[in-house]
Each structure stands twice: as C-alpha cells, then as structure tokens.
Structure 1
Amino acid sequence: MLAWLNIGFCKPGGGQLNLALHKQSSQTSTWSSGRAQASSAVDGIRTGEYYSCDSCTHTHAENNPWWMVDLGQHFLINEVVISNRNGINSRRLRNFKIEISEHGSLNGTMVNPILCAERSDPQPGGSTVSYPCTSGAVQGRYLQIRLMYYEILTLCEVQVFGPYYGMNFP
C-alpha cells in the first residue's frame, strides 16, 4: 500500500497562534471538486506549490471573487498574512481588500465591514506577505479577502494574528 508523506515544503509551519487555522471558510465558487477548496487556505501549509501540495484555493473567473473565514468568536485582529501561489498565475493576486466584520455568515455577507488592508499591485509569486491592519487592531469574527475586479482568486494560505490578552483561544 502506498501513502503520500507530507514532508519538506508541504509541512505546516510553526510560530505564533494562527486564529484562522482549521476554521470554517468559504469562497464564491470552487474551480474543481475535490481540490482548490476554501479550507485549503487554512490548512497550515504555506507553500505556493498549487499543484504538488494541493493546498491552495481556486475560484472560477468571476466579478469580485471572495474568500472568507469564520474565526468562531470575536478577536482583535492586527495582522493578516497571505501566501500566494507560484508561477505565471500568481499575478492574479492584486487589487484586493481585506475586510473584517463582527457579524456575517459564510455565504459572503459582511455587516459593516472594516477595512484592514488593501493592495493594488500584484503580490509576488510564491511569497508570504504580512498585511498589518492600517488603522490598528480591528475586532471581528469574520475576515474576507475580495478581489476588486473580474478574475480567479487563488490563496495558498491565510493566517490571522492579533493580541491574545483577555481572549479565549480557539
């Protein structure tokens, strides 16, 4: 019997407590059944290797595609870290907003979202970039990343961090 070993660059990384790790997530659409699911962005695997690790999301090409995570409870969030895919299609991750809301649902609804950060130019392929919330820590339970144009949204990992004092850990 053969088994796939998750070694090397496909292993989950360590470090700070990632508030989004293994939390429920959703996206506007899924390109392929069985792979490219919304949950791929919160599996702890930060590689940009879309095909070899099967650990990145992928929507259909559509207007303003989004991905979101339900953190399960309210947290103060001050940083979002996004890992982009490698290759020519990495240029798609540009012109996006990261928004946080205290109320919403995984169907994409965000009630009074607050802008955490945004980017207009492409995030470099295979890179992992930190996006501090520009106005300081934002309280919320739902976090959404939305492209602001017609395209495919692919995210290889989304990590969410914030101060932990006075909070219950997931």
Structure 2
Amino acid sequence: MSSVSNSNSSESHGTNGYFCYGYDSCSITGPLNTPWWKADLQNSYFVSTLIVKPRDDGYDFSNIEIRFGNSPTISQNPILATYLGSTPPAGTVLTFKAPHPMEGRYLSIQTFTFPFAVGMCEVQIIEA
C-alpha cells in the first residue's frame, strides 16, 4: 500500500478471506496524492473477474482504476476495470469483469481523487 491509515487497516485485511463490514477489519491507505493498494500473487495467473467489498461507512472507494499485469510498476500494467463515482452504498459488493482473460502477477487498485484514500474490506481475484 502507498501508506497505512492506522494500525487496524493493514494491507493484508484486503485479502484475508473475511468479507467484513467493520472499519477495523478493512485495508485503508492514508489520504495521499494517488493512493494505491497492490497485491503480489507470487506467480502469473489468468484472471477474468475481480470482486471487491468496499467499506460500509461511505468512504475511500471512489474514482478507482484497477490494473493487472506482470510489472511491479502499477502504471505499466493494463487497466482491468474502472469504477467512476462515489463510494457505493453500505452492503454493496462490486464485481469487475476483465474485457478478456488477463495474465498477470500484480493487481493494483488506485484512486486519483485528492485528498482521498483507497479502502476496501475484501478483494477476491477469480482465475479464468
């Protein structure tokens, strides 16, 4: 992650398998210019779908760009999907479909809204 909001919001909370709703179990960056969250899958996979559970308090998931590819540098990977607009209502689970199965090792979620953060409670990566 580009930064960690507080001690209860580590990057691992985004992929711990717990589809929580509480702020203390979510992965949240600090408010920075273009904050990001990134997962290293350790190997290259073909991915078709990404499921994201944003926070339920109405913060930290707006104007999102999701990239997936083999470069550890976020900007060098192709865009898998975007989410334009404000944080969705409480209880929303978002599903993003890749335009075609995409190969990669690194998944990144970034916002270009300032000052803002990237926060989500769970990310599931579905192999093609």
> TM-score, normalised on structure 2?
0.91
Aligned-pair Cα RMSD in Å: 1.4
Task: Find the partner of 1:145 among 99, 103, 109.
Answer: 109
Give the aligned residue type for 1:31. S
**Structure 1: unaligned runs, 5 residues or longer:** 1-26, 164-170
The structure that is strand-richer by fraction is 2
Give the aligned residue type for 1:46. F
Equivalent residue, structure 2, for 1:37: 10
Between 1 and 2, higher relative CO (CA 8 Å, sep ≥ 6) is seen in 2
Distance (Å, rounded) in 2 between the aligned partners of 1:110 and 1:93: 18
User: Structure 1 residues 92 and 111, CA, compared in 2 at 3 Å: closer, same or farther?
Assistant: closer
**Structure 2: unaligned runs, 5 residues or longer:** none
Distance (Å, rounded) in 1 between the aligned partners of 2:9 and 2:91: 16
> TM-score, normalised on structure 1?
0.70
Equivalent residue, structure 2, for 1:93: 61
User: Share of identical aligned residues, percent?
Assistant: 25
- Spell out the pairing of 1:18-167 with structure 2 (5 A cutoff): 27-33=1-7, 35-50=8-23, 54-87=24-57, 90-104=58-72, 109-110=73-74, 112-122=76-86, 123-133=88-98, 135-150=99-114, 151-163=116-128
Distance (Å, rounded) in 2 between the aligned partners of 1:62 and 1:112: 21
**After TM superposition, which residue ranges in structure 1, 4 or more long, deviate above 4 angstroms?**
none
Residue 25 of structure 2 aligns to a residue whose secondary structure is coil
Equivalent pairs counted in the alignment come to 126
Q: CA deviation at 1:58?
A: 1.5
- Asked if the contact 2:63/2:113 (under 8 Å) is kept, the reply is yes
